[in-house]
Amino acid sequence: MIIYFADRKMQILGQASTNLNDGIFIVDDSKTEYVSNGVVIFEATVCYGDTAVKDMRKLCTAGNYLLRKHNAENEFYTIIDREFNEENREVTLYCEDAGMDLLNTIAEKYEASQAYTAVGYIEEWIRGTGFEIGVNEISNLKRKLKWDGESTVAERIASIATQFDNAEVSYSFEVEGMAVKRLLINLWKKRGKDAKVQLRLGRDVKNIRDKESVQTLATALRVTGGTAEGSSEPITLEGYRYDDGDIYTDGKLLKSRSAVAKWGSTWSNGKHIERTYSFETTSQSELCAHAVTELKRLSSPTKTYEVDIVTMPDNLSIGDIVYIVSDRGELYISSRLLELKTSVSGKKIEAKLGDFVEEDSGIDDKVRSLADRLANLNLTPGTGGNSNYNLTVESSSGTVFTDTLIDTNLTAHVYKDGHKLTDSEIAAVGKVVWYKDGVKAHEGTTYRVQNVEAARVSAQLEV
């Protein structure tokens, strides 16, 4: 990994790397991504020699820019905080990708005169910052919003997204060489994709920490909305009727029958656990719909999983859905990556998972399905071999598969006249070649099939 330091005019001042062992080099780093606000945080500790003290103070001035290059990643940050440790000859940097223009600029209180799109609101506060709108998946929505207090522009953008059906924000940059061409704010209905990636304890994942909390649990919400024109008070659900059999309105409260039955204490005599909820709208029906969604979320304990990832698939990004498997405990969930923390120097990847769904493992069905597919494999010796050679395939299955994904190691065994050949004996005869969907995919006695719904695989001994 290499980081380049630049001044406020984007002139490159110097660089540091994890691969250097003298001069200016990175001894510690972490990059943390969040779904919640879209901001990416980069922290690094950089060591320097006696002769570089003056240069480092120029390079690491708070407010300067930092370009980070690692593999295919090209990222742009602003140095928010820096701290020099003269004794250890090191400087610690705290950087964010939203930049000073969004983090340090104040968005004042504001009330819209009519309903606007999310972009209409955001452009009110990003003029002159260099940022522009990139992806916009909520362009069809309009809201009449109001803010009674001040906030940073970054906080206001996050607030706007939340009030547009809990949309999500990310920041991205178009970098060419050492030049940043565009600063982009992206608006997503929901970030990420179903990555169809399976992470397994003991292989891809070092540890799983299962956390559960009732700290935010509620069985009823006291709901308020926006303030209608000509009124001095925000609207509530008073007078609005809603009842779906479980969740219902009761004056200003929205209540859940099943939640209070489960979580109400024996001595509370049916008393609800109340929390407040507000959503900027002057429509009672819209306010109720959003409150119902929120009450469904809060009426169960908050569960999260924190995992230490050994190897991160290349196509995995923040917000993606992954499948976590623990063969020992038969833990099996599909979950979103809500936070992702990576360290190049420490060779560590930590992820916080949420929005999870516990899945039925279906072990027997999956193993049986895989066995059926293996039974149909075209496993025949090559035409150049003698007829007394025989090839069989063994699967490392017997594990858990998702409903659509297969992940197993296939091993080919070659026999001659009933005698199993060693790798060196196979090499003296020819080679085992694997074909996937008719295309040559691998050479060798073992072949891993992973993250696919179905595939036609054949193995041949070619001499």
**What pLDDT, in 10s, does the model give residues 252-308?**
999 999 999 999 877 777 789 999 998 878 888 888 988 998 999 899 988 877 888
Which whole number is the average pLDDT over 389-413? Answer: 66
Q: Which helix (H) or strand (E) holds 160?
A: helix 153-163
Q: What whole-number distance in Å separates Cα of residue 366 and Cα of residue 363?
A: 5
Whether pLDDT at 400 is above 70: no
CATH of domain 363-462: 2.60.40
What's the whole-number mean pLDDT along residues 38-63? 85
Residue 220, pLDDT score:
95
Mean pLDDT score across all residues of the chain: 81
Out of 201-210, 233-242, 357-366, give the one with best mean pLDDT: 233-242
Query: How confident is residue 327, by pLDDT bands cut at 50, 70 and 90?
Result: low
Predicted pLDDT at 51 = 61
* pLDDT top residue among 205 and 329: 205
Q: Tell how strand 110-111 and strand 146-147 pair up.
A: antiparallel
Band of residue 185 on the pLDDT scale cut at 50, 70, 90: very high
Q: Where are the beta strands (DSSP E) in 189-266?
A: 194-200, 205-213, 220-227, 234-236, 247-250, 253-256
Residue 108 DSSP code: P
What pLDDT is recorded for position 388?
62
What pLDDT is attached to residue 79? 94
Mean pLDDT within 20-25: 71
The 3-state DSSP class for residue 197 equals strand
pLDDT interval class at 384 (50, 70, 90): very low
Q: Tell me the percentage of the chain whose pLDDT exceeds 90.
A: 25
Q: Retrieve residue 325's tokens.
A: 């498997």
Compute the average pLDDT of residues 69-91.
87
Query: What gap in Å lies between CA 101 and CA 117, rounded to an integer?
Result: 22
- Token output for 101: 């223009």
Calculate the alpha carbon distances from 61 to 12, 13, 65 in Å: 13, 11, 9
Residue 383: per-residue pLDDT: 38
Asked if CATH classification 2.30.300.10 holds for the domain at 194-213+302-358, the reply, yes or no, is yes
Domain ranges of the chain: 2-97, 102-169, 194-213+302-358, 220-298, 363-462
The pLDDT of residue 330:
58
